[in-house]
Amino acid sequence: MKLLSVNIGKEGTVQRKLYREKTGIFKIPAEGAVQIGKLGLDRDVIVSEKHHGGVDQAIYIYGDADYAWWRNELGRELTPGIFGENLTISELESATFAIGDILHVGKVVLQVTSPRIPCKTFSARMEDAQFVKKFRAAERPGLYCRVLKEGSVQAGDPVHLERYEGEIVTLLDVYRDHYAPDFRAESIQRFLDAPIAIRMRKEKEAQLEKVIGR
């Protein structure tokens, strides 16, 4: 695999039904090297910090294998960054990943923490009111990652996958559970045993507390 594009966003707006909403989803390929820190790409804008960003969602990755599927499905060209991803990587197919998998991108080291859960802003960005439903059904969510080792990256950098050796929770396990949660204690604990993102960990801890307290 190799890094095809590094995409940086500036603050923009999308049209919702009754108002325009600020967003950082509009990302375009950057030229040259870009620094990656614990909170993500240098100069990348995050507008809604309640739902986006943070150390466990510092970098969003989308793969060219998933893009190829979408190009065929939608019947149109899709350029790197259109899904709001920070890094576009060749050959990568998000459904094949597990929580905890590690990606070495050049000298930067990233760890997969969660899938992307699509929102209405994404539909507005794609100018398709049904796109959230389409994205959910496709089960090609892309990867949110935490940064284990900071550094700079640029298009053309080699990408190496290191599989997680602990409790295996696939990206699609997490994705499907978001829409149809399994509230059994053993199922919740399985998620907590994996290095999931902090937002999800808090949700699962609250779920487990309710189950145990019954």
- Going from N- to C-terminal start, the domains of the chain cover 3-167
Q: Which of 174, 150, 168 is nearest to 42 (CA)?
A: 150
176: three-class secondary structure by DSSP: helix
Q: Could you tell me the sign of the dihedral formed by the alpha carbons of 153, 27, 40, 63, in that order?
A: negative
Q: How far apart are CA 129 and CA 7, in angstroms?
A: 24
The whole-number pLDDT of residue 122 equals 80
What superfamily would CATH give domain 3-167?
Answer: PK beta-barrel domain-like (2.40.33.20)
**C-alpha–C-alpha distance, residues 101 and 156, integer Å:** 21
Beta strand 20-23 pairing with 12-15? antiparallel
Integer Rg of the chain from CA:
17
pTM beyond 0.85: yes
Q: What was the pLDDT predicted at 75?
A: 92
- Rounded Cα distance, 96 and 161, in Å: 11
pLDDT of residue 11: 66
Given a cut of 80, whether residue 133 has pLDDT beyond it is yes
